[in-house]
A and B are shown apart, each in its own frame.
Chain A
Amino acid sequence: MTSTTPDLPSATKRVRPPKDRGARRARPPRHGWRKAIRRDWQIYSLAIAPLLFFAIFRYLPMIGNVIAFREYLPGGPLFGVQWVGFYYFDQLIHDPNFWQVFFNTLILGGLTLLFGFPAPIILALLLNEVWSRGTKRFVQSVSYLPHFLSTVVVAAIMMQGLSATGVVNQALGWFGHSPIEFLNDPGWFRGIYVSSEIWQYAGWGTILYLAALTTIDKQLYESAMIDGASRWKQTWHITLPGIRPMMIVVLILNIGTFMSVGFEKILLIYNPLTYPTADVISTYLYRVGIVSGSFSYAAAIGLFEAVIGLTLVVATNTFARRVMGVSLW
């Protein structure tokens, strides 16, 4: 009995990567900054350009969000001209369009997560049961392909296939169904969007899981087989727990993009007819801000979205760390 127990911790231990002891030892006890700079100034100098990048193009825009609280004039000062307090947030709370796009975002993001997250896991498990190397590699190569295409190309392919005379409607025609205007019908939008996301990313998503699968100790399977466990039981009790840390990491990352769901693709495939289901926060703020020029109001919407997104990630990460012992940071 004790012969199986030593194996199990090795599977769970992977959950919490060991602290890098080398780093801890290598760090000098308590040198001052001055000494560090004198010794490593050349290394620090290499960081100047990247730090400028982060300061200007990442952190400055974060500060630039103050225009959500200030009046901004196009072409005027970067941070606006005068304080208006919560004027734009007040406007946001009373904007029925905003609440519509807010709920659209939640629904679309939720559906994408619900179907898009398990899809690569299932595909990876199926691929794991393929026993010919060549077949496996072929299926992998093909399924990765859509990930390499521009969103514009994907949108164009969707439009071709889903148009009134497109191949999908032709197939419906064989069953005597009259053509459906898929991309002009709000009722179809969510299904189409989620399917296209799966089409584009499920294959690519398997890479991480297949990598995690190779790290599972083969002996676990051997001992399970000696105990007479079926392949299904092995999958359930060995494979899935083995890739669980990876699943959680991917889940946290997915939740991080939950609020900004598919901006570029939606912008390409939606149209005024499908706004009732297709319009999400990011596309709405794009129209409000960049198309109509209400920068401050759009910044308020964007800030609202970003803060919710950050909260979701931090909450998920904390939850995962407390409950499952896996986390991103």
Chain B
Amino acid sequence: MVSEPIVTGGAPGPAPGKPGERPRTGPRPRPPARRRRARQWPPQGRGYRVFRVINGIILFLVVAAVLLPFLNVVAQSFSSERYIDAGQVSLWPRGWNVTTYANVMSNSLFWNNYRNTVLYTVTATAIAMAVTTTYAYVLSKKHLRGRKVLIGLAVFTMFFNGGIIPNYVLVSYLHMRDTVWAIALPNAINVFNLLVMKTFFENMPQELEEAAAVDGMDTYRTLWRIVLPLSKAVIATMTLFYAVTFWNSWFSAFLYMDNQGLFTVTVYLRNIIDSVTTVANGQMAAGTQVQIAANIQAVTVVLVAVPILFVYPFIQRYFVSGVMLGAVKG
């Protein structure tokens, strides 16, 4: 009954000899974080231990459910059509085949579209960052007259927007079709990103900016020389947010580009998928052709996803911190 504090005794470190023990009252210096945790989550009771086993199984299944589809596609991309056709490729390639990779990679349209994706992503991200950063900085100035209106103007668009048709009509009307502007400009500000940056700027210490103002620095130079260098973390995060969004987007390019030399690689993949469905909906006689396409499709999927998968482990942290930053504000 009185054995409560013994929970900490699980760690054999400090000898339980009473005389040498630190006084138990008051906040203890370093170890408490971990030790408190240990006290909070005791594997007390059989019920909880059973639960933890089940929990482990569930989470294992979650991990498997996420990863298996990837493995399946990778396996298909390295398999020969014959085995895919027979429905024998699950998680390991059968009939080792890398010629499809060679074929797809030597396809000039594929590379052209890949280059377009890079080009559009860089342009659109640069524009988006410029506009988002300046607006977020403006919104972070709490003394600014009309600030509420400026914020409301942005937030309202989160819940109500013109819709596809008026946007399409507008972009066509402005003669932006078949240019990178059709992709970059209509998506230049993501209001969620804007609010995250605004929160970040608001929480920056004001003293530096005030000192700069006393020294006669104007707003533009303060922003460029003082605020931005101190915001590298949030800028990196937001750049990644935008870049991944633009890299993954396909609908704008699909909608506004009329020439296949202007497509992005996502549209390239979309067209492959589409032809597979079309064939699949046709006669079953086209079966073999479908399977050839399935192999090509798997290869293209892998090649489109690989850059993201490679940088993912490094950028994931930034994404999480970005979302957290936005979440704090609610």
A147 → chain B closest CB, angstroms: 9
**A264 to B170 alpha-carbon distance, docked (Å):** 20
Q: List CB contacts (< 8 Å) of B119-139 with chain A.
A: 130-132, 134-135, 137-138
Q: List CB contacts (< 8 Å) of B179-205 with chain A.
A: 185-186, 188-189
**A61 to B174 alpha-carbon distance, docked (Å):** 12
Selected interface stretch from B11-19, B103-111, B218-226, B231-239: B218-226
Contact A160 B72 (CB under 8 A): yes
Additional 19 contacts, C-beta under 8 A, given A46-B220, A143-B66: A22-B142, A43-B137, A46-B137, A46-B138, A46-B219, A46-B223, A50-B138, A53-B185, A61-B163, A67-B165, A141-B316, A142-B62, A149-B308, A165-B84, A167-B69, A169-B87, A211-B328, A218-B40, A302-B165
Contact B161 A53 (CB under 8 A): no
**A292 to B301 alpha-carbon distance, docked (Å):** 30
B95 → chain A closest CB, angstroms: 14
User: B residues engaging A (CB < 8 A)?
Assistant: 4, 36, 39-41, 45, 47-48, 51-52, 55-56, 58-59, 62-63, 65-70, 72-73, 76, 84-91, 130-132, 134-135, 137-138, 141-146, 150, 153-155, 157-170, 172-173, 185-186, 188-189, 218-220, 223, 244, 247-251, 255, 266-267, 269-270, 272-273, 276-277, 280-281, 290-291, 294, 297-298, 300-301, 304-305, 308-309, 312-313, 316, 319-320, 323-324, 327-328, 330
**A131 to B294 alpha-carbon distance, docked (Å):** 42
Residues in A whose Cβ lies below 8 Å from that of B62: 123, 139, 142-143, 203
User: A residues engaging B (CB < 8 A)?
Assistant: 17, 20, 22-23, 26-28, 31, 33, 36, 40, 42-44, 46-47, 49-51, 53-54, 56-65, 67, 72, 75, 78, 123, 126-127, 129-131, 135, 138-139, 141-146, 148-153, 155-161, 163-167, 169-170, 173, 179, 183-184, 199, 203, 207-208, 211-212, 218, 221-222, 225-226, 230-232, 245-246, 249, 256, 264, 267-268, 271-273, 282, 285-286, 289-290, 295, 298-299, 302-303, 305-306, 309-310, 313-314, 328-329
Contact A62 B36 (CB under 8 A): no
Contact B153 A54 (CB under 8 A): yes
Contact A203 B59 (CB under 8 A): no
Contact A148 B87 (CB under 8 A): no
Majority SS at the chain B contact face: helix
Interface centre among A17, A46, A131, A249 (most CB of B within 10 A): A46
Given the contacts A131-B41, A329-B155, A282 and B164 also touching, CB distance less than 8 Å: yes
**A292 to B63 alpha-carbon distance, docked (Å):** 43
Residues in A whose Cβ lies below 8 Å from that of B301: 153, 156-157, 160
Contact A222 B248 (CB under 8 A): no
Given the contacts A130-B59, A295-B169, A28 and B143 also touching, CB distance less than 8 Å: yes
In the complex, number of A-B residue pairs with CB atoms less than 8 Å apart: 308
Closest to A305 in B: B163
**A246 to B132 alpha-carbon distance, docked (Å):** 26
Majority SS at the chain A contact face: helix
Closest to A303 in B: B163
- Top 5 nearest A-B pairs by Cβ distance? A61-B162, A64-B166, A165-B87, A302-B163, A50-B135
**A306 to B160 alpha-carbon distance, docked (Å):** 7
Closest to B248 in A: A150
**A203 to B65 alpha-carbon distance, docked (Å):** 12
B37 → chain A closest CB, angstroms: 8
**A54 to B320 alpha-carbon distance, docked (Å):** 28
